Amino acid sequence: MSSPSLQTRADTKVPARIARSAATTRGAHLRTEDFGGWLADRGRAHAFQVERIPFAELDGWSFQESTGNLVHRSGRFFTVEGLHITEEGEPYGDGPYADWYQPVIKQPEVGVLGILVKEFDGVPHLLMQAKMEPGNPNLLQLSPTVQATRSNYTKAHRGADVKYIEYFVGPGRGRVIADVLQSEHGSWFYRKSNRNMVVEAVGDVPLLDDFCWLTLGQINELLHRDNVVNMDARTVLSCLPFEDTSDGALLSDVELLSWLTGERTRHSVRAERVPLDSLPGWKCGEDAIEHVAGRYFKVMAVSVRADNREVTGWTQPLFEPVGPGVLAFLTREFGGVPHVLMHARVEAGFLDTIELGPTVQYTPGNYAHLPASERPLFLDTVLRARPDRIRYEAVHSEEGGRFLGAESRCLIIDADEADAPLDPPPGYAWVTRAQLTSLVRHGHYLNVQARTLLACLNATETRTR
Contacting positions for a copy of itself (CB under 8 A): 1-11, 14, 90-93, 108-110, 150-151, 154-156, 176-181, 195, 197, 247-255, 257-258, 261-262, 264-265, 268, 270, 334-335, 337, 351-352, 416-417, 422, 434-435, 441-444
Rounded CA separation 234/212 (Å): 16
Q: How far is the CB of 437 from a copy of itself (least distance, A)?
A: 11
3-state SS, residue 214 = strand
Of 105 and 306, which has the nearer Cβ to a copy of itself? 105
For the chain, the straight-line distance linking the first and the last C-alpha, in angstroms and rounded, comes to 51
Of 2 and 373, which has the nearer Cβ to a copy of itself? 2
User: How many CB atoms sit inside 10 A of residue 262's CB?
Assistant: 12
Q: How far is the CB of 129 from a copy of itself (least distance, A)?
A: 21
CB proximity list for 368: less than 8 A, separation 6 or greater: none
Handedness of CA 5, 176, 256, 246 (dihedral sign): positive
Of 180 and 382, which has the nearer Cβ to a copy of itself? 180
Q: How far is the CB of 112 from a copy of itself (least distance, A)?
A: 8
Contact 418, 328 (CB under 8 A): no
Q: How far is the CB of 194 from a copy of itself (least distance, A)?
A: 10
Of 127 and 177, which has the nearer Cβ to a copy of itself? 177
Torsion of CA 290, 296, 109, 46, to 10 degrees: 80
Q: How far is the CB of 154 from a copy of itself (least distance, A)?
A: 4
Of 9 and 384, which has the nearer Cβ to a copy of itself? 9
Closest CA to 214 of 136, 129, 308, 138: 129
Of 351 and 383, which has the nearer Cβ to a copy of itself? 351
Q: How far is CA 27 from CA 34, 214, 215, 237, in A?
A: 11, 6, 6, 17
Of 29 and 266, which has the nearer Cβ to a copy of itself? 266
Of 254 and 292, which has the nearer Cβ to a copy of itself? 254
Q: How far is the CB of 237 from a copy of itself (least distance, A)?
A: 17
Q: How far is the CB of 72 from a copy of itself (least distance, A)?
A: 15
Q: How far is the CB of 411 from a copy of itself (least distance, A)?
A: 22
- The burial of 243, by beta-carbon neighbours within 10 Å (0-12 exposed, 13-18 middle, 19 or more buried), is given as middle
Rounded CA separation 65/62 (Å): 9
Rounded CA separation 87/356 (Å): 18
Of 274 and 327, which has the nearer Cβ to a copy of itself? 274
Computed over its alpha carbons, how large is the radius of gyration of the chain? 22
Per-residue 3-state assignment (H helix, E strand, C coil) for 264-302: HHHCEEEEEEECHHHCCCEEECCCCEEECCCCCEEEEEE
Q: How far is the CB of 414 from a copy of itself (least distance, A)?
A: 13
Maximum distance among all Cα pairs of the chain, rounded to whole angstroms: 73
